[in-house]
Amino acid sequence: MTIILDIKVMPNASKQDVILDKSGKIKCYVRSKPEKGKANEELIKYLSKTLGIKQSDITIVSGHTNPLKKIKIATELNKKELLVKLGIDVQDTFLGK
């Protein structure tokens, strides 16, 4: 299964974290600076470790130089399971179920 997530990356953060903001958008905080792809690399490593999947299963589809990114994740998890693994507690209504 392939899942596409829209994620806003927040570089130069004091810690790594993933949250769902008040508007329902996913934000990922990374420590790296947004230069030479460092924040993108950290994002992929963080998602890989948190989800327990290979880094090669995560691809930035768009937004390589923009904080707003489309991330493609190849996983056996459904979207709700994936978000829960990221620490985001969501209800079925948010997921369109």
pLDDT tens across 16-71, in order? 999 988 888 999 999 999 999 999 999 999 999 999 999 999 999 999 999 999 99
Q: Specify the pairing of strand 17-20 against strand 2-10.
A: unpaired
Q: Residue 33: phi, psi to the nearest 5?
A: -85, 150
Which of 12, 7, 46 is closest to 27 using CA atoms?
7
Q: Specify the pairing of strand 68-74 against strand 58-62.
A: antiparallel
Query: Given this model, what pLDDT does residue 93 score?
Result: 39
Give the list of residues 6+ apart from residue 89 with CB closer than 8 angstroms, or none: none
Query: Given this model, what pLDDT does residue 90 score?
Result: 67
Can you name the residues that pair with 4 across neighbouring β-strands? Answer: 72
* Domains of the chain from N-terminus onward: 2-85 (3.30.1200.10)
Query: Given this model, what pLDDT does residue 89 score?
Result: 77
pTM for the whole thing? 0.87
